Structure 1
Amino acid sequence: MLLLAANAGCSPESSDAGSAGLTGTHSFVCANATKVRVEFLGDDGLTVEAAILPDGESEHLTAPAAGVTYFGDTMNLSISNDWVVVIRPDAKTQICQRAASNQPRDGHPPP
């Protein structure tokens, strides 16, 4: 039920992650100062690599269709423009905002 509530509040305005400006690698900062790195893979926007920083391992997540939650083994992500909701069974749900665009993006050029 929590997954549905989190997903309902974070539905992307666009059904295509690329058109929402979310291509390449992006950093997000959560309310508790946790940082999340999300790298969008492929042209369809249905696959990402995500990591909770600084010491989290990267996890491969996929979405069944554009505009819905990405699912992985240990976390799920719901992404909406400049926000991401991180849902993990071992931690509280985190709502995180995309870091300012003038910050480095892990060595990748801006999209």
Structure 2
Amino acid sequence: MRERKVPLNLNCGLDLIGEVLYGKWKIRLLWFINEGHKRPSELQRKIPDASRRVLNVQLNELEAHDLIEKKIFAVVPPKVEYSLTPFGKTIIPIIGALGKWGDENENRLRDLILNNKISDQ
């Protein structure tokens, strides 16, 4: 297990959410698993910019936080599928609301992000 660089801060709900959901691909992984993309190879195709290793780390973290569960089938070659736990299903409406907000503000957000990238260089 890796050692934390920053100590845990779990003083409020936002801190707790951050601990569970922060990670570049976690929200997308939850969304895609909810949509029915359950195999690691399917998730890799949906998120081609992520390395297999990073996806595995984030899937393991989501599993450790009881948002997803992994089922391993005893076949050759081994087959793995992920699904949302009942607890994991409770976050989907919130992710949907965030996505809707992003869609409604797409142009503004894109301009702000691109302007900040240019000024950071």
With normalisation by structure 1, the TM-score equals 0.27
| Higher normalized contact order (CA 8 Å, seq sep 6+, divided by chain length) | 1
With normalisation by structure 2, the TM-score equals 0.26
Considering fraction of residues, name the structure with more helix.
Answer: 2
Asked which structure has the greater CA Rg, the reply is 2
